Amino acid sequence: MITAYQTFEELTATATAYMTSQGYSFKMIDHYQQRWQHVAKYMTERGIKEYAPDVGTQYLIDTIGETDTKDLPRSKRTCIRIVSSLSDFYVSGCFRKRKLYTPPEELTGEIGLAIAQYIIDFKQINGYARNTVQSHKLYLSRFLEYLNKSNIRSFASFKPEVMIDFAGSLTGYSATTRHFIILKTNRFLRYLHEQGVLPADYSTVTPKDKYVRQPKLPSYYSPEEISRLLKSIDRSNANGKRDYAMILLAVRLGLRRSDVINMKFDNIDWEHERIIFNQQKTKVPIELPLFPDIGNAIIDYLKYGRPQSDLPCVFLRLIPPYDHMNENALHGALQKYLRLSGIKYDERKHGPHALRHSLASNLLKQHVALPVISGVLGHARTESTIDYLRIDIESLRKCALEIPLKRKEASHDL
C-alpha cells in the first residue's frame, strides 16, 4: 500500500529503515544514502519539491544519458539500481527483486548474419514497428546463443534433430517466452528453406508447443475514480497544467502513452476540432474529436505552462533543457495523482494503458457498439476489443443461461 510522504527526507528515511529491517549492511545503506543526497540536490536546483518516479527517471537521463545499460560502467549501472530502488519503494513500499540482465547474443558468424538479414527482410516486407522487430532479434538471439554453446556455427553442421534439443533447453523460461522463442525460430527456419539455405523446412521437426494464450483481465477504473483522479491534479502550476492535459487525453480519448508524449502541433486541427495522427504502435492513421475540455486544457497549458521552445512537440519537460519528454514521465505522473486522490490500486494496473482500458469498459457499460469502440481505440481488428467484454459483468450476466432444476425422481409407496 502506498504511503504519502510529506518530504523527500521522509521518503529516504523510511526507505533506510526498510533496508535496515532487510539486513542490508551499513556500508550498502551509506552508499544508497549518498546517491539519494545527489537526487535531493538535483531536485533543489530545479525547484522540485516532491519526489515521484518520473523525477528519478529524469535525474538518470540528465546524469547518465540514454545509453544502453550494457554499455555503461559498473558505477553508472549501480546508480540506476539505487535510484530505481527508491522509485520502487515510493510506489510499493519495498525494493523490487531484479533479475540479472542477459544481453542478446551478437549476430555474428554465418548463422548470426543470416538472422540479421532475415530481420531486415522481415521489417521491409511487413513494415512492422521498431519494437516488434527488436523482439524478433531478441528471441532469435537466444536460438543463436544455444547453437554457439552447442558448437554449431554453420549451416553445414545444422541437423534437424537440433530443434528437438533446443526446445528441450527452454524449460527455464516462462510458458509465454518459450512459446514466442519457438514461434520466431520456426518462422526463421521456414525463411531459410524458402531461400534455399536449408534443404528442408526444419520447423516441422520442432516439438509442438501447446501454449494457449490466456488474456489478462484488463484493469478498470470507474467513472467516479476517474473524476477523483482528475480533481487531484493541481492546475495552478505549469506541471499540473501539462499533466492534466496529458492525462485527459488518455482518459477521454484512450490515447496510448507514446501517442500522448509524441503529439505534435500539426496533429491538432483546431478549425475542425479534431486530432489526427499516425499511431506510434501500429503506424495506422486515426482521427479523433477534439472535445472542448481537452482543447481548453491544452490551451491553458500552452498559454501558461509550456516553456518557450520551437520544438514541434506539444508536451515538453518543465526543467532545463526544455526538450522532448521521456515516455516514462506520464506513467510517473499518473502514479502520483492516483496516490494523491486516495484511489487504491494495489491489485490493478496503474499505468496510462489502464486509463485506455477504463475508457473502453465505460463505453461498453453505455452500450456503445464494439466496432465503434475499436475505432476510438485505433484497433485494427474488433477482436482486440473483445477482451474488454470480460469486465463488463452486467452484460455478461445477460448472456447467462438458466440452469434447469434437477427433476426429482418419482417416489413410490411400498
Residues designated as active site: 256, 281, 353, 356, 379, 388
Residue 286 phi, psi (nearest 5):
-145, 145
> Residue 198 and residue 160: Cα distance in Å, rounded?
10
Distance of CA 37 to CAs 31, 304, 407, Å? 10, 32, 74
Torsion angle of the four alpha carbons 175, 220, 339, 343, in this order, in degrees rounded to the nearest 10: -130
- CA–centroid distance for 406 within its chain: 49
Kind of pairing between the strands at 268-269 and 285-289: unpaired
* Residue 170 CB partners (closer than 8 Å, separation 6+): 177, 178, 181, 182
> Residue 386 and residue 219: Cα distance in Å, rounded?
14
> Which contiguous run of DSSP H or E holds residue 275?
strand 274-278
Q: Write down the residue that cell numbers 494496473 correspond to.
A: 349
Select from 275, 253, 271 the least CA-distant residue to 263: 275
Angle between helices 74-92 and 8-21 (to 10 degrees): 100
> Residue 270 and residue 263: Cα distance in Å, rounded?
14
